[in-house]
Amino acid sequence: MTDKVEQCTQITSDKNFFIIDDNEQNPPYIVEKNGEFEIINNNEKQLSFVAIDSCIYDSQDDTRADCAIYDDKTFCFIELKHSKRTSWKRHRITAEKQLKNTINNFQSLDIIKNKRLEAYMCCTCTLGKEYTKIKKASNKNEIIRYFDKTLNTNLYCDNKKEFN
């Protein structure tokens, strides 16, 4: 799997950019503006973007997260869902499973060793629309505890990641 990760990785040091996943047949990719998930890289340090869906894994395997982005300290798994508020719960449950599977599959890889792990669910990502931010759930939430204790990963519902 390490070879596939390398093939599906793009390096950038852009200060601000977005990730988009607009086609089920193609992997997610980076755009300068008007994307679904924003990356803020204030120090313009080197970041690695990994297209997971439709690159490392086949697009038919819908049990994996869409992508990941990382620096020397933090590794972030990202799942983008295009849903209306009424179907958010169903999409959130699917996103949780996809993130769990991907994190478990990456556990043996050196690229996540000694890094803080984060997982992001963006369940109302829609191009051109304002994202309704849902803050991190309470620690009483069973899934938050599962990610924290079992996967050693902080779970967030957000459409933005800021690297410092």
User: Which tens digits make up the pLDDT trace of 67-93?
Assistant: 999 999 999 999 998 766 666 677 778
User: How many domains would you assign to the chain?
Assistant: 1
Reported confidence tier of residue 141, pLDDT bands at 50, 70, 90: confident
Structural domain range at position 47: 2-163
Buried b or exposed e, range 75-94, using 16+ CB within 10 angstroms: bbbbbbbbbeeeebeebbeb
CB of 74 closer than 8 Å to CB of 46: no
Q: Output the pLDDT for position 82.
A: 73
Once rounded to an integer, what is the mean pLDDT over residues 85-112? 86
| Phi–psi pair at 17, nearest 5 degrees | -160, 175
Once rounded to an integer, what is the mean pLDDT over residues 46-65? 88
Reported confidence tier of residue 135, pLDDT bands at 50, 70, 90: very low
Q: Provide the mean pLDDT of the chain.
A: 85
Residue whose structure tokens are 């958010």: 88
Spatial distance between the Cα atoms of 50 and 163, rounded to a whole number of angstroms: 16
Residue 11 pLDDT exceeds 50: yes
DSSP code of 57?
A: B
Once rounded to an integer, what is the mean pLDDT over residues 8-25? 91
Once rounded to an integer, what is the mean pLDDT over residues 11-39? 91
Q: Output the pLDDT for position 142.
A: 80
How many H helices and E strands in the chain?
Answer: 3, 10
The model's pTM = 0.88
| 3-12, 61-70, 119-128, range with the lowest pLDDT | 119-128
Q: Output the pLDDT for position 15.
A: 97
Q: Output the pLDDT for position 62.
A: 64
Residue 139 pLDDT exceeds 50: no
Question: Within 13 A of 135's CA, how many CA atoms are on the CB side?
Answer: 2
